[in-house]
Structure 1
Amino acid sequence: MHFKRRDLLKGTIASLLYSIVPARSSADQPDKLPKRVLGRTGLEVAVLGYGAMQVSDPAIIRHGLERGINYIDTADCYMGGRNEKVVGKAVTGIRDRVVIATKVHISSESRMRKSVDRSLKSLGVPSIDLVQLHNIRSRDEVVRKDVQIAMKKMQQEGKFRFTAVTTHSNQVEVLKAVMEDGFYDAVLVAVNFRSPDRLYDTIRQAAEAGVGIIAMKTQNGGYSDKDIPELTPHQAALRYVLRKPGIHVAVPGMLSKKMIAENIEATIRNADLADVFRLEHYQRELAGRSCSFCSSCIDQCRFGVGGLDVARTMMYLEGYRDKRLAMASGRDVFANIRLCADCKICTVSCSQNIDIKGAAQRMHHHLA
């Protein structure tokens, strides 16, 4: 999907009609964040959540919570297992005011149970609000009964309150499966201002069916915007996503108080048509570097791999500049990157003009 001004104009104007729920604030409380209900979970969450995966200082997360954020996304595999401990320290004394979401990989029941128990210990909490299956790619994974049975047992034991899945690829298929199957309560989905209309349409339909929708990768991976002054394109990109029907909360990564302040400003300030020009500029900056998660590359690839794992790893290494995060992606991702790097004839034409083979070779070199 090539980015066109008329498409963004249409999307920006339409999204203005779906405004963020007015903040319950007064002149002396400018940081009171608007809230939405996370689907059938009934959890009331601020529209700005905290993507904690790169944060090593609990004081930074605590600052965000004091500013009104009340949803934190983490995982057992982030920072080699240390990230959940950071989150646990950040919520000390205020656990009842915060919604905590973590993740578990699909595996045997015993391994999944060990992972969840490890998360409980690291977080220092008796129960987790939301446990999400990590990196789901297909309907088959969504409807796996052995996994659902394992999740249900742990839920009934009080280890967590609600179930969810996370997805980066085949997202429309995954969303539809969650909506139709009815077992999982929410989906963490990768979206940004260039995501295809069919993805946003499916998000809206899922939300209308009661599925909670959490948005990640909303700001295109942390690439530099140093040449764009004042209101940043990151803020415009976040506002664009939050005004799309069906999105309940977004979880951008925030490594400093400055980033927290910028994202809070983005959620309480009305969008305007100047955002179009900021995002156009940002699009040019990102040309050939950032994925829209449209998944069209999977169908084009003769091996059914496509370039999603390559693009996501590129974002972690070159956008976030976080090799540890890239290394935590797992063996399946590394195998796909190696397959792309070694492929003699690439059949994929990326809609965002990413050189999949070239990027795969760079990523393989960095991770070797």
Structure 2
Amino acid sequence: MQKRRVGTSDLQVSEISFGTMSIGTDEQQGIRLLHEAQDLGINYFDTADLYDQGKNEEIVGKAFKGRRDKVILASKVGNRLDPGGESWHWDASKEYIVSQIKESLRRLQTDYLDLYQLHGGTMDDNINETIDAFETLKKEGLIRYYGISSIRPNVIREYVKRSNIVSVMMQYSLLDRRPEEKVLDYLTDNNISVFARGSVAKGMLSDKASEKVKQKGADGYLTHTYEELLAASEKLSVLAEQEQTSVTSLTVRYVLQHPALASAVMGASSLEQVKQNAKLPTERLPDAMYEKLQQFTRQITYTSHR
């Protein structure tokens, strides 16, 4: 598995990585999936305190106890559990962030995180205080680096200007090309890497594209209509057959093409999915192929948080 450097850090992450939210709450099954992914060359695993109210972090921690030095662990913070445990509210305060790293480290059975990410962020936050929280944790050795998980251009710009983030996680795919509107180039210019989530758009850009469009795209996707989704899936299927490759490979390679990208964060809930993800080709697309893929979908832009 090829690796890429994350921003100005010394983290080298696999081009295909594992978003652990989809592993479920069966501990033995989750550990099997995580071990299989690591054995196949995936070294970056992304979780969050929000996932299954901390259970996800616990499974990840048990899976990599004894393997900690072989993996890069990332988690997220900012969504605070309400009394009763049925809902969350946003809390980007220094007090909360500093308190929650201890809980995440306990669940993950480690004494540090390679990457700690703000799980959202708004312009109403006290951004300087939030940055100070992450800088404090870094000085204390509890985290190596920090980043944000956000699709809000205005928030991203503020953290780029004010902080030492090394990464931004954002949704990016052929059906969500909003980051191509200056955001990716801006991050490249500032030596900040992108972790892409949603690369196959709920499966609508996968080998089961037509089936998934019918299941999940009836009401459209972002500003794409159902008819546009169907047309894109058909064109992708034809092209993949012509190129003797898979639709998933084409769409993930498309995402990885931009120099800002560090990794495509993929979910998996079965061993078969883990194996398919780990075996995805990641080599650069020919320019002509990249441009052809762009013609299959239309460019959409951010309408808010600009």
What CA distance in whole angstroms lies between the structure 1 residues aligned with 2:122 and 2:52? Answer: 23
Closer/same/farther in 2, CA of residues 97 and 254 from structure 1, 3 Å limit: same
Deviations 1:162-202 (A, max 9, x none): 1111113x2x3333333322432211111111334663642
Q: Is the 1:54–1:79 Cα contact (8 Å) retained in structure 2?
A: no
What CA distance in whole angstroms lies between the structure 2 residues aligned with 1:153 and 1:268? Answer: 36
Q: How does 1:113-124 map to 2 (within 5 A)?
A: 113-124=98-109
Q: Could you tell me which of 129, 139, 159 is aligned with 1:178?
A: 159
Closer/same/farther in 2, CA of residues 207 and 277 from structure 1, 3 Å limit: closer
In the alignment, which residue of structure 1 is the partner of 2:51?
A: 78
Letter in 2 for 1:114: S
Equivalent residue of 1:266, what SS?
A: coil
Q: Could you tell me which of 116, 126, 135 is aligned with 1:152?
A: 135
Q: CA deviation at 1:43?
A: 0.8
In structure 1, stretches of 5+ residues that fail to align are 1-32, 305-368
In the alignment, which residue of structure 2 is the partner of 1:225?
A: 209
Q: CA deviation at 1:128?
A: 0.6
Closer/same/farther in 2, CA of residues 41 and 278 from structure 1, 3 Å limit: closer
Closer/same/farther in 2, CA of residues 253 and 47 from structure 1, 3 Å limit: same
Q: CA deviation at 1:271?
A: 4.2
Closer/same/farther in 2, CA of residues 79 and 278 from structure 1, 3 Å limit: farther
Q: How does 1:84-123 map to 2 (within 5 A)?
A: 84-105=57-78, 106-123=91-108
Q: Tell whether 2:163 aligns with 1:188.
A: no
In the alignment, which residue of structure 2 is the partner of 1:206?
A: 187
Q: CA deviation at 1:63?
A: 0.4
Equivalent residue of 1:103, what SS?
A: strand
In the alignment, which residue of structure 2 is the partner of 1:244?
A: 258
Instruction: Tell me the number of residue pairs that the alignment of Structure 1 and Structure 2 aligns.
Output: 255
What CA distance in whole angstroms lies between the structure 2 residues aligned with 1:258 and 1:279? Answer: 29
Q: CA deviation at 1:92?
A: 2.1
Letter in 2 for 1:295: Y
What CA distance in whole angstroms lies between the structure 2 residues aligned with 1:112 and 1:251? Answer: 24
In the alignment, which residue of structure 2 is the partner of 1:130?
A: 115
Deviations 1:197-256 (A, max 9, x none): 663642133123221221111111235536568854333221110112211111111222
What CA distance in whole angstroms lies between the structure 2 residues aligned with 1:294 and 1:118? Answer: 38
Equivalent residue of 1:41, what SS?
A: coil
Q: Is the 1:132–1:165 Cα contact (8 Å) retained in structure 2?
A: yes
Q: Is the 2:252–2:282 Cα contact (8 Å) retained in structure 1?
A: no
Closer/same/farther in 2, CA of residues 264 and 76 from structure 1, 3 Å limit: same
What CA distance in whole angstroms lies between the structure 2 residues aligned with 1:293 and 1:58? Answer: 38
Q: How does 1:1-368 map to 2 (within 5 A)?
A: 33-56=1-24, 57-105=30-78, 106-138=91-123, 141=125, 144-168=127-151, 170=152, 172-196=153-177, 199=180, 201-223=182-204, 225=209, 227=211, 231-268=245-282, 271=285, 294-296=301-303, 298=304
Deviations 1:92-120 (A, max 9, x none): 22111111110010433332222211100
Q: CA deviation at 1:70?
A: 0.6
Q: Is the 2:172–2:178 Cα contact (8 Å) retained in structure 1?
A: no
Closer/same/farther in 2, CA of residues 69 and 246 from structure 1, 3 Å limit: same
In structure 2, stretches of 5+ residues that fail to align are 25-29, 79-90, 212-236
Whose relative contact order is higher, 1 or 2, with alpha carbons under 8 Å and at least 6 apart?
2
Q: Is the 1:236–1:279 Cα contact (8 Å) retained in structure 2?
A: no
Could you state the TM-score of these two structures normalised by the residue count of structure 2? Answer: 0.73
Q: Is the 1:163–1:185 Cα contact (8 Å) retained in structure 2?
A: yes
Equivalent residue of 2:75, what SS?
A: strand
Closer/same/farther in 2, CA of residues 200 and 235 from structure 1, 3 Å limit: farther
Could you state the TM-score of these two structures normalised by the residue count of structure 1? Answer: 0.61
The structure with more strand, counted as a fraction of residues: 2
What CA distance in whole angstroms lies between the structure 2 residues aligned with 1:199 and 1:222? Answer: 21
Equivalent residue of 1:176, what SS?
A: helix
